[in-house]
Amino acid sequence: MDRDETSPGLVIGADGLARCWWCVGDDLYRRYHDEEWGRPQADERTLFEKISLEGFQSGLSWLTILRKRDSFRRAFAGFEPGRVARFTDDDVDRLMGDASIVRNRAKILATINNARRHPQLVDEFGSLARFLWSFEPSPDSRPALVDRATLTSVTTTTEAKQMSRELRRRGWSFVGPTTLYSAMQAMGVVNDHLDGCFTRPMVEAERAGFPRPTA
């Protein structure tokens, strides 16, 4: 059981640790917050999965997607872009009949389309990772204080809008600025753990030592 919120956005858990308010009340969500959200990533499969699932999350809660993530991975061949790119109409029908995932035809087709566009992006930039990390904002453009009010008011950034524009120009789908900012938060391009959250300094230390992808 979590104790009362002690400062805006921070909740002290039964273990005595302060966490971002949004992860409390569910063990799966708490583990995701503690162990995964904001940790810098450069693995192609992982990044493609994050973008795809953020697209599926549009209009839903992230916890809904998180609870279905294992089913999504099974249904979408582990989100290996090369395998998803080979999906056929029969696969679309299969996915539309799979109650363990979000059955939204437009989002399913977007994921397949993006997998097919992935090789072109790799040819141009060297990797999806290098493309995504090229939109990392400069430190002086980040909020001086990351609290609940800041996090709930900043749903996208100039960099996320630029990334969205570039991906759409290359034919990607379901990659709006809000979706991509959520992906940037999840993959560690920005550290949006609240000030005072026990995880924030860990994430910042990982980001400091993280080798940014190169061609």
- Is 27 inside a domain boundary? no
Q: Which residues of the chain have pLDDT under 70?
A: 1-7, 215
- Is 208 inside a domain boundary? no
- Is 166 inside a domain boundary? yes
- Is 197 inside a domain boundary? no
pLDDT (0 to 100) of residue 214: 78
pTM of the prediction? 0.93
Paired tokens of 41: 């990533």
**Number of domains forming the structure of the chain:** 1
- Is 181 among the residues known to form the active site? no
Q: Which of 5, 21, 32, 36 is catalytic?
A: 32
- Is 214 inside a domain boundary? no
- Is 7 inside a domain boundary? no
Q: Which of 29, 54, 159, 172 is catalytic?
A: 54
Q: How far apart are CA 49 and CA 11, in angstroms?
A: 29
- Whole domain around residue 140: which residue ranges? 42-190
- Is 9 inside a domain boundary? no
Q: Are 102 and 61 in contact (CB under 8 A)?
A: no
Q: What digits encode the pLDDT tens for the residues 136-188?
A: 999 999 999 999 999 999 999 999 999 999 999 999 999 999 999 999 999 99
- Is 49 inside a domain boundary? yes
Q: Cα 70 from chain centroid?
A: 15
Q: How far apart are CA 213 and CA 10, in angstroms?
A: 33
pLDDT (0 to 100) of residue 7: 62
Close Cβ partners of 138 (under 8 Å, ≥ 6 residues apart): none
- Is 29 among the residues known to form the active site? no
Q: Are 6 and 18 in contact (CB under 8 A)?
A: yes
Paired tokens of 189: 């391009």
Q: How far apart are CA 14 and CA 30, in angstroms?
A: 12
Q: Which of 5, 36, 62, 80 is catalytic?
A: 62
Domain at 155, CATH number: 1.10.340.30
